[in-house]
Homo-oligomer: A and B are copies of this chain.
Amino acid sequence: MNFRFEEAIQLLARTPASLEMFLSGLPEGWIHCNEGEGTWNAEEVIAHLIEAEISNWIPRIETLLREGESRPFPPFDRFAHLDTSADTTLEQKLAAFKEIRRSNLEKLKDLVNNDKDLDLRGTHPEFGSVTLRELLSTWVVHDLTHISQITRVMAERYRQDVGPWQQYLSILKVRK
């Protein structure tokens, strides 16, 4: 096991500003391209990350710490953001993600007091018993998954344009 609480927080703290640096001010073509019907563009990925900050990570951590294994985590709708995100610009979403992540990491540091807490258990509605360590590790890898998704979606836009280089660009080989 490689998880370290402080190292996980350091990574989680960097994601919003990094994505803001990468995406803010980019033209529509980059922000709204996707991988075809039913796939997400970069702006929709940011909306999903915000939704997960609101409804997923902290509520699940709180349930785990308060209820232990006696009560499953609250449900999380992975598509909820598609209904609620139309009214804000990308820049507003990036700012909102930065703010809620900052505030959630403050909450996290208040909630988790020492390394022994990482072995505490809760109940995932599908997987059953999981540890706080597993949940926090997943929060980190979920960030990495979606940064990777954004780059893959954007690369897809130039699939034809790269011509014969396509065979050497590994990002064009994987699909969601």
Contact = CB atoms under 8 A, between A and B. Distances in A.
A145 B170 contact: yes
A1 B141 contact: no
A151 B147 contact: yes
A24 to B, nearest CB: 9
A127 B19 CA distance: 35
A77 to B, nearest CB: 15
A141 B158 contact: yes
Interface in A134-176: 134, 137-138, 140-142, 144-145, 147-149, 151-152, 154-155, 157-158, 160-165, 169-172, 174, 176
Interface stretch (A6-14, A43-51, A88-96, A103-111): A6-14
Contacts of A21: 14, 17-18, 21
A155 B165 contact: no
A131 interface: yes
Given A152-B148, A162-B134, A10 B25 contact: yes
A23 B162 CA distance: 28
Interface string A47-65: 0000000000000000000
Nearest to A27: B7
A102 to B, nearest CB: 15
Contact of A169 (B2, B22, B145, B154): B145
28 contacts: A3-B158, A6-B27, A7-B27, A10-B25, A10-B30, A11-B26, A11-B30, A11-B154, A14-B26, A15-B22, A17-B21, A18-B18, A18-B22, A124-B164, A127-B163, A128-B164, A130-B164, A131-B163, A134-B162, A134-B164, A134-B165, A137-B163, A141-B155, A144-B151, A144-B154, A144-B155, A145-B170, A145-B171
